Amino acid sequence: MTNQIIQAILLGGYYALIACGLSFMFSVMKIINLAHGSLLVFAGYLLWFFAEHYHISPFVGLLIVIPVMMLIGWALQAFLLEKSARGGELLPILTTFGLAIVIENLLFEHFGANTRSLAPYIGDLSWESWELFSGFYVGKTSVYILIAAIVILGSLQLFMKKTALGRQIRATAHDPDTAGIVGINPKRASAIATALAMSTVAVSGLALGVRGVFDAYSGGPQLLFAFEATIIGGVGSLWGTLIGGIILAFAQTIGANIHPQGFLLGGHILFIIILLIRLILAKGGVGHRLKFALGVSK
């Protein structure tokens, strides 16, 4: 029991980590990037590629892959999102979904159907563990992933709150036209935000490969996990994403206890329950009453 709770928290750390980038882009730029999962898998493949062909440890590989992903983020913003966001809020959904299809199938074309993992390239670390207390072990990688999630979420939060660039990104998210009038280059702010989100995607790719195996089509499920963690935790709150990830992992653990195939179902059903709660709260809540009052006053 205790063991399961500890494992769920660690798994939640992974979900929070992969949700960072999605949640960041969603809260800051109001864009749900449907290619998030595929980009994450792409980062995983890049790390695998450097490890397999150039014997670069995936941790060192991050030094290459993070800048590469940031560059991709910048290009994504400049060539795809910038233009599609101007066409209304629905267009980015379509373009990022199209992008996901393109990336997935290109990865399949290039790397084939075999599953890959980064575990063989990190030496003993992949199976090493700490004994928390008698009989309870935690895998070192899982702990590192949880720490990475906390560090990344914390520094994103600090960056957004305390730095001039963070303020500019928030201002652009709030109202890009006014941001321009104030002297902010909205394109630059959005491109930096996307690049930042993609840098977290690079780290997520490492986590994905270190924890287990992936193939070209692993992006879909990763996108769903990241999305569920984001929504459960509450959009716009980066710390909420951490809580959301852990709650999602708990629901999956409970699901798996109920039925051998209930792991994924548990998470999804919790997601729906959260939506239901949101619906009920909205109906009787302040927002609804306010709308009602405005409707009457008209």
Binding residues for other proteins, per CB under 8 A?
26, 31-32, 34, 80, 83-84, 87, 89-95, 97-102, 105-106, 108-109, 164, 167-168, 170-171, 174-175, 177-186, 220, 223-224, 227-228, 231, 259, 261, 264-265, 268-269, 271-272, 275-276, 278-279, 282, 298
In the complex, the smallest distance separating the C-beta of residue 20 from other proteins, rounded to whole angstroms, is: 17
Closest by CA to 233, choosing from 247, 244, 246, 249, is: 244
Helix (H, G, I), strand (E, B) or coil at 131: strand
Give the C-alpha separation, 266 to 250, whole Å: 9
Nearer to other proteins, 122 or 201 (CB): 201
Nearer to other proteins, 110 or 123 (CB): 110
In the complex, the smallest distance separating the C-beta of residue 2 from other proteins, rounded to whole angstroms, is: 28
Q: Characterize 147-158 residue by residue with b for buried, 16 or more Cβ atoms within 10 angstroms of its Cβ, and e for exposed.
A: ebbeebbeebee
Burial class (CB in 10 A: 0-12, 13-18, 19+), 2: exposed
In the complex, the smallest distance separating the C-beta of residue 174 from other proteins, rounded to whole angstroms, is: 5
8 A C-beta contact, residue 271 and residue 232: yes
In the complex, the smallest distance separating the C-beta of residue 3 from other proteins, rounded to whole angstroms, is: 25
In the complex, the smallest distance separating the C-beta of residue 61 from other proteins, rounded to whole angstroms, is: 26
Nearer to other proteins, 67 or 220 (CB): 220
Give the C-alpha separation, 223 to 273, whole Å: 19
Give the C-alpha separation, 9 to 246, whole Å: 5
In the complex, the smallest distance separating the C-beta of residue 132 from other proteins, rounded to whole angstroms, is: 33
CA 242 from chain center: how many Å? 11
- Render 216-277 in DSSP notation, one character per residue: TTTHHHHHHHHHHHHHHH-TT-HHHHHHHHHHHHHHHHHHHHH-TTHHHHHHHHHHHHHHHH
Nearer to other proteins, 141 or 190 (CB): 190
Nearer to other proteins, 1 or 279 (CB): 279
Give the C-alpha separation, 207 to 12, whole Å: 12
In the complex, the smallest distance separating the C-beta of residue 9 from other proteins, rounded to whole angstroms, is: 23
Which residues, at least 6 apart from 264, have a Cβ–Cβ distance to it below 8 Å? 221, 252, 255
| Cα pseudo-dihedral 16, 18, 19, 21, rounded to 10 | 130
Nearer to other proteins, 151 or 272 (CB): 272
Helix (H, G, I), strand (E, B) or coil at 290: helix
Nearer to other proteins, 1 or 181 (CB): 181
In the complex, the smallest distance separating the C-beta of residue 29 from other proteins, rounded to whole angstroms, is: 11
Nearer to other proteins, 153 or 184 (CB): 184
